[in-house]
Amino acid sequence: MKNILLSILLLLNILSWDINGQSIKPIYPIPSSKQLNWQALEYYGFVHFNMNTFTNVEWGEGKEDPRLFNPSALDCNQWVRIAKEAGMKGLILTAKHHDGFALYPSKYTDHSVKKSPWKQGKGDVVRELANACKKHGLKLGIYLSPWDRFHPAYGTESYNQVYANMQKELLTQYGPIFEFWYDGANGEGPNGKKQVYDWKLFHSMVKKYQPQAVQFSDNGPDIRWVGNERGYSYETMWSPINKDEIYPGYPKFDDYRNGQEQGSHWVAPEVDVSLRPGWYYHPDQDSKVKSPDSLMRIYVASVGRNANLLINIPVDTRGLIHPNDSAALMGLRDLMKEGLKSRLKVSDKFIASSSVNGHPIQLVKDGSVSSFWAATPKDIHPTIQWNTMDARLANAVLLQEPIALGQRVKRFVITITDDSNQIEKLTGFTIGNKRIIPFKARKIKSIQVNFLDARGQVLLSNFDVLYITSVRNESLYH
């Protein structure tokens, strides 16, 4: 406990700068170190591969014969190589879906790879993926559905301990875990009963055995669902929420999907979306994989709206990523590499209506999230402006706040001036970790950002100008 308190005090000291007597203090709530580490990942993958892959359904019933699970060429190294080449920072695996079939030889269920002919019942998909992630330098995450349509204890108090025991297996036997994913589904088990989940117990298991891991659900405790599975965040997106008012499966979740400006806890959103119409592999969807252009627009509407992006890859019955899915991800990689390339030049000029000593406007172009421009506290409607002598083609502005000091900006106006002196004004709301604001592509010579409202002193860590070929302004609005 003393070490925890000391860490908190040190963090608070780091997060309060005193520049010539001017103190820049956090606006609470603020993210923890593990939440900051997670936010920096931005983009990683989901792998839906389980019994449903072999029964060609999305949700199994728990009655499936374990002998159906028998991939002919499973290669987790292939999954990880493709994910890494695509720019993903990690993979989250469905270790157990709602049907209850476990991809590892758990001691706490009879419905698992132990009863499968794959590797004569000696296989362990979680182990193979963990080894591949370690080999190639990707992070490993675990999805473990609390719902279990097979387990006879489901719907009774004893099942909560069964689930916690399975958590312990996954959290202690496979190395570091960066994210633990709880699905919000809660249906009936084989006995016709629903389970009252012991979330306090479940959360405590992760905190005990993998304290650096973030936990995902409708309300966190560390990160939360964005509120849709179509691949986009919202134009207003606050990371704080009143976490204690929400629970997994909360019926009025839409009321909280944009976060809450005055929220009590920092619980940033994650956007989950599949490469295909389904989450699991279905042969008739081989021609329905999202295009790279579509995926790039999803990136802008998720990471570019203060969320992290989790793209699902449905592994096929061989145990491999289908070539069509791989091609889509490589196409996205190429679009990201080109579209997220800075259009700024050394000769470009930045000016600001005010600056705190030690935090000049020039810091917004250094690409670092730890350095930042700070307006003076009395400048309640500060303005920054980028000017260039040689107009260049662009169609998006990127803004970032130093979220270690809290989320602040509530409303801003961007004024874009092109090489014909035509002016376009765009109104934006929240910024957070990253905001990408698209506009009509043309040669631009000046961009001004006027901050109209904020929770305290305005801080900005990064400003950039981009040209993203696949993004059209109107395509991002939902």
* pLDDT tens readout for residues 312-359: 999 999 999 999 999 999 999 999 999 999 999 999 999 999 999 999
- Is position 406 within any domain? yes
Specify the pLDDT at position 3: 44
Q: What angle do CA 63, 72, 91 make, to 5 degrees?
A: 80
Banded pLDDT at 18 (limits 50, 70, 90): very low
The number of domains in the chain is: 2
Cα–Cα dist 360/38, whole Å: 28
Choosing from 318, 339, 360, the residue where a domain stops is 339
What does the DSSP 8-state code read for residue 210? -
Helix (H) or strand (E) holding 323: helix 323-339
- Supply the CATH number for residue 194's domain: 3.20.20.80
* Residues 385 and 292 grouped into a single domain: no
Cα–Cα dist 159/109, whole Å: 11
Q: Is the pLDDT of residue 441 over 80?
A: yes
Cα–Cα dist 58/68, whole Å: 15
- Is position 268 within any domain? yes
- Is position 9 within any domain? no
Q: Let me know: does 215 contact 203? Beta carbons within 8 Å.
A: yes
How far apart, in Å, are the Cα atoms of 179 and each of 83, 99, 146?
A: 16, 22, 16
Dihedral, 337, 237, 294, 215 alpha carbons, nearest 10: 80
Mean pLDDT is lowest, of 16-25, 152-161, 211-220, 457-466, for 16-25
Specify the pLDDT at position 251: 83
Banded pLDDT at 253 (limits 50, 70, 90): confident
Choosing from 339, 357, 372, the residue where a domain stops is 339
User: Average pLDDT, stretch 267-290?
Assistant: 99
Instruction: Label residue 335 exposed, middle or buried (CB < 10 Å: 0-12, 13-18, 19+).
Output: buried
> pTM, whole model, 2 decimals?
0.94
- Is position 16 within any domain? no
Specify the pLDDT at position 475: 47
Domain that holds residue 167: 33-339
User: Average pLDDT, stretch 215-234?
Assistant: 95
- Radius of gyration, alpha carbons of the chain: 24
* Residues 405 and 295 grouped into a single domain: no
